[in-house]
Amino acid sequence: MNPSKPDQPGLRDRKKAATREAISDVATRLFVEHGFDNVSIDDIAREADVSRKTVFNYFARKEDLFFDREDDARTLVREALAVRGEQRPIPAFQALMRALLAARHPLLRVTRRTDQFWRTVAESPTLTTRARELQVTLADDLAVMLCDAVGQPHVDPDGRLAAAMLMDTMVVAYGAALRAFRAKQKPDAVLMNVMERGFRGVDAALAGTPYA
């Protein structure tokens, strides 16, 4: 019996994750430097020193090379809801967002690099469309998680309303923070202010439901 065998799948998974991240990092750099529409999959494969087939093994389409953090967001929310104890789902989500902002987590941090990232999105109709699609998908996924947390069907209007309002709050707050950064103001303070105002609206709208 080889005692190292149980560790081999974990090692393979880590290597695959590292390869995926390396390809994504190269693609993002090229997109930012040259524009999304001016960079091909062959360019990315050549720069990352992998084959074109390898790129598609990790990313189904070109846009996915740029937007590769949504799974991280889903995992964070799912874990926060799973360990919330007696806390209701909406306060648990809000506590997670506050903690991420306080820790300057990459999902909420606004820097020169993220400014370049979103400028690249704004310059590409393809990326702009994909960003909007992801917002809808993430809101739907959040609705499912909220409904599951309180044992309601996935079409429960209160759960879907909560998810839509929470997602819109984060999108608007992040956009305000990005504009503050470009104006040389304090993006974290702006993000917190707008986020908290949105959260108060969510709390008021969902008061009396099992979510809040």
Q: What is the pLDDT of residue 175?
A: 96
- Residue 40's φ and ψ, nearest 5 degrees, are -100, 165
pLDDT in tens, 120-143: 999 999 999 999 999 999 999 999
Give start and end residues of each alpha helix (H) in the chain: 8-34, 41-48, 52-58, 62-66, 70-82, 89-102, 112-122, 125-150, 157-182, 187-206
Measured CA to CA, the distance from residue 169 to residue 147 in angstroms comes to 19
| Average pLDDT across the chain, whole number | 91
Q: For residues 55 and 62, give the distance between their C-alpha atoms in angstroms, rounded to a whole number.
A: 9
The model's pLDDT over 48-106, given as tens digits with 9 standing for 90+, comes to 999 999 999 999 889 998 887 788 889 999 999 999 989 999 999 999 999 999 999 98
Please, are residues 104 and 177 in contact by the beta-carbon 8 Å criterion?
A: no
The pTM of this model reads: 0.84
Q: Is residue 1 predicted with pLDDT exceeding 70? A: no
- Average pLDDT on 158-172 reads 97
How far is it, in rounded angstroms, from Cα 81 to Cα 65? 28
Q: Give the per-residue pLDDT at 9.
A: 57
**Structural domains in the chain, sorted by start:** 5-63 (1.10.10.60), 70-206 (1.10.357.10)
Quote the percentage of the chain above a pLDDT of 90: 78
Question: Cα(first)–Cα(last) distance of the chain, in Å?
Answer: 53
- In sequence order, what DSSP letters do the residues of 116-141 get, joined into one string? HHHHHHHT-HHHHHHHHHHHHHHHHH
* pLDDT tens readout for residues 172-192: 999 999 999 999 999 999 999
